[in-house]
Chain A
Amino acid sequence: MDWTPIIPAAELTIGILAVIVVDLVGRGRHPWLTTGVALLALAGAAASAVLQPTLEVTDGAQTVLGVLQLDQFSVVFTVFCCVTGFVTILATVRGEAFKTPGGEFLVLILSAVLGMNLLAMSVDLVALYLAFELVSIPGYVLVAMRRADARSNEAGVKYVLFGAVSSAILLYGLSLLVGFAGGTSLAALGEAVAGGAVTTQPLWIVACVMVFAGFAFKVSAVPFHFWAPDVYAGAPASVAGFLAVASKAAGFIALIRVVGAVVGPAVPVAPDALTAFLPEGGALITIIGIAAILTMTVGNLAALRQTEIKRLLAWSSIAHAGYLLLLLTVWSEQAVAALLFYLIAYLFMNLAAFLLAGIVIRERGSGELSALRGFGRRNVGLSLAFAIVLFSLTGLPPFFGFAAKLQLFYVVFERGYVWLGVIGLVNGVISLYYYARVLSSLYFQDGESDAPVMRLSTFDAVFCTLLVVPILGLGLFWSGAWHWAQAVAEDLPLVMGVR
């Protein structure tokens, strides 16, 4: 029995327990200690995920532990989630929410990260659903963490109701899948699909729609996106960032696993014709394709009128989910690589964006765009970081966001969906408008003329720099990251187990 795959999970669990114990023993008087323990757990989990010996096995042979499976893919996402959790905790330490996060906060973050870790490895619907809920339930509480704040509470209720309904729909869909597969493992599902008698069944489509609906909630795809702006606006900025990045990434991991099982291994690159119209690959892919277009368009359009920075970023993250769904639509090995690559870019950009928003909200006590006025002169560094992040989110070179989009659209074109790609590209132009509105507030609208120069604390400055520098650095030199993403994606056929 090889227990290697669950070492990070075990570390996180130990971290959770340690935090509880330290918090209880210290009666909550040593917040730094608990925070340290939590950070240590995250760092340890990330480190052991990276150092797992299976990575040396080049043919991708994975250790299967019942419902879990270890592959490069899961390792990457584990690290991804740990980093996000790490940043979120640090951002919260300095953010506008609480001066020092309590033990509960840390436990919830760690639990959510644990859920993501397991989600990344799940090859069984039971484990998948369980991990999915382990990501969601702490999220509900995290959103409502600012207990005295009515907005925060309200966001929490919205989130939990929406989440629970989606989860129920997902479960219903999964139950049907179990029926088709005759078992709960993805491998069984894949075999059933390969058997061929399944995909033509009417109920199969129902199952696909419902399963996607559940995941759509998690990745905030239209029309299951409604919660996102309200929840992001009500939640502390750092938590919003966590939800936007980690929670969404988790949704995509799960989607990749399920799509992998349902659709099968990567379809070979399309032949010469670059005029493909509707995605092939069955009901699920069609549904995802429609949702992708809707999501990016609605997300971008709705963002146009937002006047509050967190809401704006919420809609922006909805739009980005649309781009990512586009990659699932075209479903190939390259697409998965591009998805991974895009998620990395997305991680830096969104964490930085929410972090910066948090700093502004803390400084000005308001998240309205008008609160940003005059920042261009008051704090050059912060504004510059903001500008870089926003340009990167728009997808302008020489920033990482551009590289990600380039690869994304390259893959979409490669599979022949030129029209899908063009819709996506034009959406990028729309997005410029609202990102530029933020810039406009920062730079073009004069604030109070005698506003003092604002100094960032060293902590904030270093933190911002650490997030922003990769955006620029990887924007200029991204081939390494891309090759790495490709290498990771090459494991994908093995992820499907039986095929």
Chain B
Amino acid sequence: MLLAAVGLNHYLLVGAALFCAGLVAVMSRRNAVAILIGIELMLNAANINLVAFDHFRAQIDGQPVIDGQLFVLFVLVIAAAEAAVALALILNVFDTRDRIDVDELDTLKG
């Protein structure tokens, strides 16, 4: 049964697993870059969902369903932009402190 038909849910489960893995990274990592890695995993989780939904939809007039794929392409762009800015910020902090341990970003408090 396990090896039987691979359906939408299987892909969604993979996505969920990726998402949770990303969350674990986000929650447990002290290194800012490692947190970014977690974020990328979460984005990919969403992307798998989107592409999977496309695949499991009825085609009309023999045209491929690409709504989700288009979304994914934009997400790729956004992820890149986000990663660039985030890294720039992290490096900036690293520049002034020589550390990127997020637990030490604590000058801002009441």
A and B touch in the complex (CB under 8 A): yes
Chain A residues near B (Cβ < 8 Å): 125-126, 129-130, 133, 137, 140-141, 144, 147, 150-151, 153-158, 160-161, 164-165, 167-169, 171-172, 174-176, 178-179, 182-184, 229-230, 233-234, 305-308, 311
- The 8 A CB mask of B40-57 against A (1 = contact, 0 = none) is 001101110110010001
Given contacts A157-B32, A178-B71, contact A144 B49 (CB under 8 A): no
B77-94 interface with A by 8 A CB criterion: 78, 81-82, 85-86, 88-90, 92-93
Q: How far is the CA of A23 from the CA of B45 in the complex (A)?
A: 40
Chain B residues near A (Cβ < 8 Å): 15, 19, 22, 26, 32, 35-36, 38-39, 42-43, 45-47, 49-50, 53, 57, 67-68, 70-71, 74-75, 78, 81-82, 85-86, 88-90, 92-93, 96-97, 102, 105, 107-110
A184 touches B53 (CB 8 A): no
A144 touches B89 (CB 8 A): yes
Of the candidates B49, B67, B74, B105, which one forms a contact with A176 in the assembled complex, judged by CB atoms under 8 Å apart?
B49
Closest Cβ–Cβ distance, residue B105 to chain A (whole Å) = 5
Q: Which residues of A contact B85 (CB under 8 A)?
A: 137, 140-141, 160
Q: Which residues of B contact A308 (CB under 8 A)?
A: 110
Q: How far is the CA of A169 from the CA of B39 in the complex (A)?
A: 9
Grouping DSSP codes into helix (H, G, I), strand (E, B) and loop, the B interface class, with mixed when no group exceeds half, is helix
Q: Which residues of A contact B81 (CB under 8 A)?
A: 133, 137
B107 touches A172 (CB 8 A): no
B107 touches A150 (CB 8 A): yes
Q: Which residues of A contact B15 (CB under 8 A)?
A: 172, 175
Of the candidates B32, B42, B53, B109, which one forms a contact with A178 in the assembled complex, judged by CB atoms under 8 Å apart?
B53
Q: Which residues of B contact A153 (CB under 8 A)?
A: 89, 92-93, 96
Q: How far is the CA of A140 from the CA of B108 in the complex (A)?
A: 16
B107 touches A133 (CB 8 A): no
Q: Which residues of B contact A157 (CB under 8 A)?
A: 32, 86, 89-90, 92-93, 102, 105
A-B contact pairs, 8 of them (CB 8 A): A137-B85, A150-B107, A165-B42, A172-B15, A172-B49, A175-B46, A175-B68, A175-B71
